[in-house]
Amino acid sequence: MEELKNYGHQHPLLMLNEEQLIGNGNGVVDCSRCGEKVSAPCFSCVECCGFYLHKTCAEAPLELNHPFHRHHPLVLLQNQPYTSGCVRCVTLQYDVKIPGHKHPLLFYFDNEEQCNGCGTDINSAYRCKDCNFGLCLQCVLRPTRVGHNCDDHSLKLTYHKINDYEKYHYCDICEEKRDLKYWFYHCETCDTSAHVNCVLGEYPLIKLGSTYNEGDHPHPLTFAKKFPYYPKCGECGEPCEDLSLECAEPGCNYIAHWKCKKPAMLW
- The full set of domain ranges for the chain reads 3-58, 63-140, 145-200, 211-266
- Residue 254 scores a pLDDT above 80: yes
| pLDDT at residue 57 in the model | 78
- Residue 22 scores a pLDDT above 90: no
Helices assigned H by DSSP within the chain: 18-23, 55-58, 86-89, 137-140, 196-200, 258-266
- 215-240 tens-digit pLDDT: 788 888 888 886 778 889 988 999 98
Q: Listing from the earlier edge strand, what are the strands of the sheet with 13-16?
A: 3-4, 13-16, 42-45, 52-54
Q: What is the mean pLDDT of residues 22-50?
A: 72
Give Cα separations from 72 to 47, 60, 66, 77 (angstroms).
39, 17, 9, 15
| pLDDT at residue 50 in the model | 75
- Beta pairing partners, 122: 113
Alpha-carbon gap, residue 59 to 33, rounded angstroms: 11
In 32-164, which ranges are E strands? 42-45, 52-54, 63-66, 69-75, 95-96, 105-108, 113-114, 121-122, 125-127, 134-135, 145-146, 155-158
Alpha-carbon gap, residue 156 to 158, rounded angstroms: 6
Global pTM value: 0.63
Convert 214-251 into a string of H (helix), E (strand) and C (coil): CCCCCCCEEEECCCCCCCECCCCCCECCCCEEEECCCC
Rg of the chain (C-alpha set):
20
- Beta pairing partners, 85: none
Domain spanning 211-266, CATH class? alpha beta
- 78-103 tens-digit pLDDT: 555 444 446 666 666 778 888 878 89
Give the confidence band of 6 by pLDDT, cuts at 50, 70, 90.
Answer: low
Alpha-carbon gap, residue 145 to 154, rounded angstroms: 6
**Cα 211 to chain centroid, rounded:** 18
- Residue 265 scores a pLDDT above 50: no
- Beta carbons within 10 angstroms of residue 49's beta carbon: 12
- 124-150 tens-digit pLDDT: 788 998 888 899 888 888 888 888 888
> Which carries the bigger pLDDT value, residue 135 or residue 21?
135
| pLDDT at residue 84 in the model | 44
